[in-house]
Structure formats: C-alpha cells, structure tokens
C-alpha cells in the first residue's frame, strides 16, 4: 500500500510539472500573439520610453523582442539600450525604431517575411532638433 501511494504521489508531481511547463510556454506565446491584451498588441503604433530602473513597458518590450530576434539582442548589447522604442507593423512585417538621444541618432529595423527570428537594420539616421526636443520632453516627464 505504501509503495502504491509513493508511485501515485510521483505521478501527480510529474503531471503538475508538465502542466506548469505547458502553461508557461502558452503564456510566452500569448505575449507575442498580437491578440488583444497581449504585450505585442499594446505596443503596436506606440512610442515607448525604455528605462531599466525603474523598468518601463518599453524596456520590457525591448527585452521580449531581443529574445525573439537574436540580432536585436546583439545590436543592443553593442550599442546600448536605446532611450525610446517605436513599434508598428505593415503588411505582415514588424518595424521598430531605436532612438538614442545622447548621440542624436536612430536606427530602423524590420523583420523579414518568411524568415523567422530575422531582422534587418538601417541607420544611423540623425534625429532632428524637433524630434529630440519632443522625445527629451517625454523622457523628462517620466523621470518625475
């Protein structure tokens, strides 16, 4: 009897672990699904402040994208975390703009159709005086 209870307990623990893994994978896919309420749907057509401390939605979104696109992770590792991230999509392609205010430059990125986890970069492009003033104003408001 004791041996039977032991095996039943192990089976229950194993099933619990399997269910937990499936739910975690499902949640990660939901965040990138584009369905209402997912992180990707909330980021569409948005300009986001990217700050690590305290963490902003823009920082969360940038780290999520870096997990999907290894080239983006490499780029951010080399250039540093941008001050702003803009995100939009058109005709099944995603577009991102990374703004670096200190250097007054921006980089455009787009995903490739049919090539999963691939992203193409262009730039740097100069940030105009008006863009800089607008973005710097947003950044200063979020610091308060």
- Counting Cα atoms < 13 Å in the Cβ hemisphere of 45 gives 1
18 and 68 in a single domain? The answer is no
96 and 50 in a single domain? The answer is yes
- Whether the full predicted model's pTM is greater than 0.85, yes or no, is no
Cβ(85)–Cβ(62) under 8 Å? yes
Q: Which of 22-26, 56-60, 71-75 has the weakest average pLDDT?
A: 22-26
8 and 43 in a single domain? The answer is no
Q: Phi and psi for 116 in degrees, rounded to 5?
A: -65, 140
124 and 66 in a single domain? The answer is yes
Q: Which of 47-56, 79-88, 95-104 has the weakest average pLDDT?
A: 47-56
- Reported confidence tier of residue 22, pLDDT bands at 50, 70, 90: very low
72 and 127 in a single domain? The answer is yes
Count of structural domains, the chain: 2
18 and 76 in a single domain? The answer is no
Average pLDDT value for residue range 114-125: 86
9 and 60 in a single domain? The answer is no
11 and 54 in a single domain? The answer is no
26 and 42 in a single domain? The answer is no
Cα separation, 104 vs 93, in Å, equals: 26
Range of the domain at 51: 36-143
**pLDDT value of position 95:** 92
């Amino acid at each position: 009897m004791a041996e039977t209870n032991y095996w039943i307990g192990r089976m229950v623990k194993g099933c619990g672990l399997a269910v937990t893994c499936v739910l975690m994978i499902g949640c990660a896919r939901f965040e990138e699904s584009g369905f209402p309420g997912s992180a990707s749907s909330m980021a569409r057509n948005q300009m986001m402040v990217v700050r690590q401390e305290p963490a902003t939605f823009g920082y969360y979104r940038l780290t999520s994208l870096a997990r999907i696109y290894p080239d983006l992770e490499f780029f951010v590792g080399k250039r540093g975390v941008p001050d702003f991230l803009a995100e939009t999509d058109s005709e099944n392609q995603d577009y991102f703009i990374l703004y670096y205010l200190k250097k007054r430059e921006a980089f455009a990125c787009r995903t490739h159709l049919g090539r999963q986890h691939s992203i193409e970069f262009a730039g740097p492009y100069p940030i105009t005086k008006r863009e800089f003033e607008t973005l710097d104003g947003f950044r200063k408001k979020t610091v308060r």
